[in-house]
Amino acid sequence: MANESLKIVPACVAVGIALVIWFVIPVPAGVSANAWHLLAMFIGTIAAIIGKAMPIGALAMIAIALVAITGVTNAKPSAAIADALSGFSNSLIWLIGISIMISRGLIKTGLGARIGYYFISLFGRKTIGIGYALSISELILAPVTPSNTARGGGIMHPIMRSIAHSFGSSPEQGTSAKIGRYLALVNYHSNPITSAMFITATAPNPLVVKLIADATGAQISLSWGTWALAMLLPGLVAILLMPLVIAWIYPPEIKNTENARDFANAKLHELGAVHPNEKILLGVFGFLLFLWAGIPEMIGGAAYAVDATTAAICGLALLLLTGVLSWDDILAEKSAWDTITWFAALVMMASFLNKLGLVAWLSTSLQTGILQLGLNWVGATTLLVLVYLYSHYMFASTTAHITAMFGAFYAAGIALGAPPMAFALLLAAVSSIMMTLTHYATGTSPIIFGSGYTTLGQWWIAGLVMSVVNLLVWLIVGGIWWKLLGYW
């Protein structure tokens, strides 16, 4: 009996691409054979995912098996399988999965519907108004939520889903185009913008600050206030434009919702008083936000810091202890387990591409090539920015990307004559803008993509368009703003 989950043509294309890279293209000088072979498997896996050769979870298991059996990370079999499974020990991956599990409580208790109806009662005249409500909520949470995954996936996404469900828009019913697809994309694309606006809005931003300081001998050391002021105007312009751009790309079928506020208020009346389980869940969300925002560390110092994933596990444990969620509820959350599986495989492969030196080789080669082109600093740094931004198609982690490439690209730009402060701010912004591109670009993406409101093609098209829009905003509006601030 044929395997109905396997699509022969895209599978053959993906395998063919991997085999050409492995056997036909010579291993470049300065690159180990193992690194090149892992690159072949990585690109083949991405091609299979794009072509939907099999379910993503199944492809992830195949990729893990291939990494283990080929020994590209370690010749010792026991070490090779340990490397292949190492993605499952990544705390970010579990933060993603647990956020999905926790969000189940919003549906089970009815709190999600209550929040959704409340938002509609405030901003429900037009669909685009609901989009702006989600974006503004993201912006308010961003300065005190260092985990963009917790913010966009754990807090905002359940609210977005509740609003969509209240309009009868769900992937299960085939009605995503009504309003859910639009709101899901707005939910996601507000996340990279707000991540760029504050040092404390996403985990890799402090790393960017350190790399800039290291590259300039501490002559440029971005403070929280300097970063926030520099990113304020371009960030606000991007937030204002994004819901309009998404509506232009994928217009929702429901545009005018004049009766939505009355509808929402009627539904809130039907729900009645807040139930005890809703109060518990709301308290757990407050507890999570308190920890994710880093408030204990702010008050008591580093000794009181709590890891974002630790906080999420504690929150889930509280929901299990109080009976708000049962273990059967957790087991039934298939999307969470599926996401953990495929994201672990991609992060593992991307991490070992970095460890084996492939990404560093690529960065050095690009830097040297651009220096030899003889372009002026504007052309050369523009090319550097474009390469840095769109190379994120190869990454499943912004932290890995920044670690591997930011320092080299920033140093190259300064060597070519770019204004150090302005170029630092631009690359810092691009380090968040690159999250727009794929469904594995950052921790938030698999949560929102995994809800099923968009197809893979729709997600990638929206990501490419928004990357161009955001980059232009930061180049033009940011460039003028930074000139007025005296940064170049």
Mean pLDDT of all residues in 427-452? 91
Question: Mind listing the pLDDT tens digit for each residue in 208-261?
Answer: 888 888 778 778 878 777 888 899 999 999 999 999 999 999 999 988 766 667
The DSSP string of 92-113 is: HHHHHHHHHHHHHHHHHHSHHH
Residue 256 has phi, psi (to 5 degrees) of -100, 125
**Nearest 10 degrees: Cα torsion 229, 233, 238, 243:** 110
pLDDT in tens, 279-333: 998 898 888 878 877 788 888 888 888 887 888 899 999 999 999 999 999 999 8
pLDDT of residue 453: 94
Percent of the chain's residues with pLDDT above 70:
95
SS3 256: strand
What does the pLDDT look like over 327-338, one tens digit per residue? 999 999 887 888
Rounded mean pLDDT, 146-158: 79
Mean per-residue pLDDT of the chain: 86
Tell me, what's the pLDDT at 462?
96
> pLDDT by residue (tens digit) across 163-176?
888 788 888 888 98
Residues 187-192, mean pLDDT to the nearest whole number? 95
Q: What is the pLDDT of residues 75-116, one digit of tens each?
A: 999 999 999 999 898 887 788 788 778 878 877 888 866 776
Instruction: Say if residues 247 and 128 touch (Cβ distance below 8 Å).
Output: yes
Report, as an integer, the average pLDDT of 379-401: 85
* pLDDT band of 1, cuts 50, 70, 90: very low
User: Model-level pTM?
Assistant: 0.69
Domain boundaries along the sequence of the chain: 8-84, 91-334, 353-484
Q: Dihedral of CA 60/350/394/251: which sign?
A: positive
Six-digit token pair at 65?
Answer: 């098996």
CA distances from 280 to 105, 152, 206 (A): 10, 21, 34
Q: Which two tokens stand for residue 21?
A: 């890279």
Cα distance between residue 270 and residue 462, in whole Å? 37
DSSP letters of 124-156?
TTBHHHHHHHHHHHHHHHGGG---HHIIIIIII
Q: Nearest CA to 427 among 441, 411, 412, 406?
A: 406
Mean pLDDT along residues 426-448:
92
CA separation for the pair 116, 110 (Å, rounded): 10
Question: How far apart are the two ends of the chain, measured CA to CA in Å?
Answer: 66
